[in-house]
Each structure stands twice: as structure tokens, then as C-alpha cells.
Amino acid sequence: MSFYTKLRSKLKFNEKESDALPHGYQVIGKILLIKLKPKLIRHKKIIGKTVLELFPYVHTVCLMKEIKNKERKPKIEIIAGCKNTQTLHKEHGCQFLIDVSKLMWSQGNKEERLRLVKLVKPKETIVDMFAGIGYFSIFIAKYSKPKKIYAIDINPEAIEYLRKNIWMNNVENKIEILQGDCRKFSNLLENTADRIIMGYLFNTEKFLPCALKIAKKNAVIHLHLAVKQEETEKIKKKIIEIGNKSKAKIEFLNVNKVKSYAPKIWHVVFDLKISKNR
């Protein structure tokens, strides 16, 4: 029985409200997050209590509202259970301490994390330009035998949790943390990276000149973007133009749909092979 069906059978709402009940949810550690349509907000407490009954292992139910600003800070509200928003999340043999009121975790990126682990070659130097709490860096450090990973993030709270997660997963010797806007490290890391992860969704291409400067001659860049399907070719042309301005030839190795981000908008990863002309 689906989550939606279970909720509907327990909550005796009118037909319109029942139809609006959520079909999906996200579990991070022992915290469950849901989104509610406006017509259900007045019922948020009873919905939260019902979710706790359906999932005995969950300690806290949170209402997700939005992700705010360039630091990707979520806005949530506890609607049932414990008031603690920090939890320990486990995935693919790695552990991540996270506070869901301060930082985001995308469960939909699970397969992309696995894909990237398989693509990375031993002894590569990797730059993770939007590292967060280690969403990609820690998996790669643990399973892909890189030479070194430079993990960059602008958010001091993300950096704090990244340090803890690096220690918990015993990969201190593989990851160096750099705090700040990734663009300010382009001179320090010039011609350093065999592979670059650009795991940010909005106007990520504006950071591409920095990535091209950091990249070695034949590096691979994984550029994440939220894209309308009909705009994919337009984005590809824009990426080529940015490469030309930076005197770099860009080849598209793969365009991978990660997940649906919003109606008619996809989270897409462009795998780019870089050939420099300088």
C-alpha cells in the first residue's frame, strides 16, 4: 500500500483534501520530510502525527517549505515528534551527520552518487566546487581511491558538518577543505583537477570559467543544472560559448537526467570533456 493510500485511509478528510495528500516523502536518518499543498496546511499537525504512526522508526516529521539563497539553506517546520533536527543518515556504507533545518540532503541524487563513484579513476585529483556536507566527496574518497579531493563550500555550517563527516568516515587523508566562494580558489587550484564536480543547480554555468581554469588539459567536468527539457540544446550552446571564451574545447560525453526537480524541469548532469588550447 502506497504512502498516499495509507494516509488517505487513516485521515478522514473531505474528497478534495484527500486528493491533495502527499504521494511522496523523504527520510533522512530518523527524520521524515514532506511537502503539503496550501489547502492541507491547517491539518499539518494531524498529518504529522499520522505519519509518526505509520513509521515507528521516525522520530521527527518536518514540513518542507523551500531552499533559500546561494547557501542552499532549507526552510522547515517541525509538525510532529522530537524537536531535534540533527540526525545521522547512512547511505552506501557512509555516515553523514546533518541538521535538516540548516542543510539539505537530496535523496534523489543517490544513483548519481553511485554513478560518479564508478566513473572516478584511481589517483585522480578532484575538485568538488559545491561540496556541502560531503554528498559526493566522501563517497569518492571512500570507494574510488583518488589522489586528493579539494572540497569547497561557501556555507560555514556545511563546512562544520563536512569536517565531522570526513572524520566519521575516516577519510581525513583524502580530503582538503576550502571554505569560501569556489571562484576565489581558481588561482590556487589552476590546472590541478582531473575531474571537477559542479553540484549546484541554478545558473551553474556562471561558475564554468572558474572550473575551466582549475581543470587539467583533459579533465572531465560534471556540471549540474535545473533545466527545462526544451532548453537543453540552448544550454549546450551556451556551455560551448563559455569554453571558447576560455580557450577550451568542450565535448559532451553524456547528458544524464538525475530526477524531476519541478513540473517540466529536470535536474540534469552534463558530463564535459575538456581540451585546452593554452
Mean pLDDT (the chain) is 93
Tell me how far apart the alpha carbons of residues 111 and 97 are, in angstroms, rounded to a whole number: 20
81 and 61 Cβ atoms separated by less than 8 Å: yes
Q: What is the pLDDT of residues 125-181, one digit of tens each?
A: 999 999 999 999 999 999 999 999 999 999 999 999 999 999 999 999 999 999 999
Cell of 2: 502506497
276 and 248 Cβ atoms separated by less than 8 Å: yes
What is the bridge-based pairing of β-strands 148-153 and 86-91?
unpaired
C-beta atoms surrounding 203 within 10 Å: 10
pLDDT at 9: 92
Tell me how far apart the alpha carbons of residues 264 and 89 are, in angstroms, rounded to a whole number: 30
Tell me how far apart the alpha carbons of residues 261 and 269 are, in angstroms, rounded to a whole number: 13
Burial status of residue 210 (CB atoms within 10 A of its CB: 0-12, 13-18, 19 or more): buried
Tell me how far apart the alpha carbons of residues 196 and 1 are, in angstroms, rounded to a whole number: 42
Q: Residue 212's closest CA among 225, 223, 199, 201?
A: 223
Q: What is the pLDDT of residues 208-220, one digit of tens each?
A: 999 999 999 999 9
pTM of the model: 0.91
What sections of 128-200 are H helices per DSSP?
137-143, 156-168
CA angle 236, 136, 72 (to 5 degrees): 75
pLDDT at 67: 64
pLDDT at 104: 85
Whether the per-residue pLDDT at 68 is higher than 80: the answer is no
Poorest-pLDDT segment among 60-69, 150-159, 178-187, 245-254 = 60-69
Domains and CATH numbers, the chain: 3-84 (3.30.300.110), 107-276 (3.40.50.150)
